[in-house]
Structure 1
Amino acid sequence: MQKNEQGVVLLSGGNPQIAKGDGDEPVQAYIAAMPGWKSALGKRLDEIITRSVPDVRKAVRWNSPFYGSEGGGWFVTFHVLTRYVKVTFFDGTSLQPIPPGGTPKSKEARWIDIYEADELDESQMTGWVKQASALPGWVP
């Protein structure tokens, strides 16, 4: 079992093991525990989401930060993998343009994988977040 500098257990692919919790605090703990360059990306994603949806609801579920609306379900999450961070929109097939990741089994969900050398298109991410937040969210 690998741990990072803060003593947080890193699961498969370096994903931080953060206890389930609601609010900004567990999300910020997750982002701080993301290894290497991924933490800075997590901060940027969190800033984009919070700026785009000021009343966003935040939580950590299944060792990933989730963003949604009160009573409306979750619309986006991200997750650390070995070489990239996966940003998933639960109703991604309703977004324009549709995010590139998807399989026949992923139903409406679509995602974008962001690698260290990638330039984050903040304008596109902002557009997707705003669109996704206006749709009915995923309710587990």
Structure 2
Amino acid sequence: MKKAKKETTLRQQKAGPRAKKADGESAVLAQIAAMPGPDRAIGERLHAIIKANAPALSPRLWYGMPAYAKDGKIVCFFQSAQRFKTRYATFGFMHQANLDEGAMWPTAFALKELTAAEEAKIGALVKKAVS
């Protein structure tokens, strides 16, 4: 196990940033594909929204869940409901996200489904987060 991880790390170090981004995206898409129906649908839509609104973010796994980083630091993430045994999935932002607004603002959102209205809100938040 350690040997395989070391080989992967060495391969990634030799590869350029584009290859690392592709590996990260493959891992994220595989993780999303392995999720049960409702979480998978939300994960697929979130991935598309994030890619469309913040193409500079690099997809990668973070604690086994899809996340999106800028300059190596996680900006936003998705947690499936099934994995964490909750009644809703979570889409959240880390402190690197530029979402500060006054003295208080939300950093995570519960998701049961995504409608066009939620997709628009998420797109706007992601754009703001990387601005």
Q: How many angstroms apart in 2 are the aligned matches of 1:95 and 1:32? A: 35
Q: Which residue of 1 aligns with 2:28?
A: 27
Unaligned runs of 5+ in 2: 1-22
1:126/1:114 CA distance change after superposition, 3 Å: same
Q: Which residue of 2 aligns with 1:115?
A: 112
Q: How many angstroms apart in 2 are the aligned matches of 1:95 and 1:111? A: 14
1:95/1:28 CA distance change after superposition, 3 Å: farther
**Larger C-alpha radius of gyration, 1 or 2?**
2
Unaligned runs of 5+ in 1: 1-21, 100-109, 135-140
Q: Which has the higher strand share?
A: 1
Q: Deviations over 1:100-136 (max 9, x none)?
A: xxxxxxxxxx1000014x63611110111011123xx
Q: Which amino acid aligns with 2:112?
A: Y
Q: Deviations over 1:27-62 (max 9, x none)?
A: 001110111111111110000000001222111121
1:95–1:132 CA contact under 8 A, matched in 2 = no
1:29/1:95 CA distance change after superposition, 3 Å: farther
Q: Which has the higher helix share?
A: 2
Match of 1:94 among 88, 100, 109: 100
1:95–1:131 CA contact under 8 A, matched in 2 = no
The 3-state SS of whatever aligns with 2:56 is coil
1:95/1:44 CA distance change after superposition, 3 Å: farther
Q: Please report the TM-score for the alignment, with normalisation by the length of structure 1.
A: 0.63
Q: Which residue of 2 aligns with 1:84?
A: 88
Aligned residues: 102
1:95/1:40 CA distance change after superposition, 3 Å: farther
The 3-state SS of whatever aligns with 1:59 is strand
Taking the TM superposition and a 5 Å limit, the aligned residue runs for 1:1-140 are 22-69=23-70, 71=71, 73-81=73-81, 82-91=86-95, 94=100, 98-99=105-106, 110-116=107-113, 119=115, 121-134=118-131
Q: Which residue of 2 aligns with 1:17?
A: none
